[in-house]
């Protein structure tokens, strides 16, 4: 396969073998990695919402991975309230 291929393949993160994702070969060739290990900056709306919610709920903005029943890989969420199992 060529580095500029648009073919989708599964990848496994070198930092955590539980982290698997599917993306195009050319995307990885350009240096992208697992979204959780290479986080995308948060939007202005997400930052404002997190600030408002954190006044009455204990948010964990760094722990964005959840396990879901029936799904073999972890899912990424924006915000997590561990004591209530809420996810946004």
pLDDT at 47: 79
Within a domain: 20: yes
Tokens of 71: 């799904």
Same domain? For 36 and 71 the reply is: no
Residue 80 has pLDDT above 80, yes or no: no
Within a domain: 4: yes
What is 3-41 written as a DSSP string?
A: TT---EEEEE-SS-TT-EEEEEHHHHHTT---TTTSPPP
> pTM for the complete prediction?
0.39
Within a domain: 45: no
> Distance between CA atoms of 3 and 26, rounded to whole angstroms?
5
Within a domain: 79: yes
Same domain? For 35 and 59 the reply is: no
pLDDT at 50: 83
Within a domain: 47: no
Residue 27 has pLDDT above 80, yes or no: no
pLDDT at 25: 79
Interior/surface letters 26-50, b for 16+ CB within 10 angstroms, e for the rest: eeeeeeebbebeeeeeeeeeeeebb
Residue 52 has pLDDT above 80, yes or no: yes
């Amino acid at each position: 396969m060529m580095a500029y291929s648009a073919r989708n393949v599964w990848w496994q993160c070198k930092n955590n073998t539980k982290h698997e994702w599917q993306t195009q070969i050319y995307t990885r060739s350009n240096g992208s990695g697992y979204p959780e290990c290479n986080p995308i900056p948060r939007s202005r709306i997400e930052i404002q919402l997190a600030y408002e919610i954190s006044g009455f709920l204990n948010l964990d903005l760094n722990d964005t991975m959840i396990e879901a029943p029936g799904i073999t890989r972890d899912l990424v969420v924006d915000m997590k309230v561990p004591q209530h199992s809420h996810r946004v």
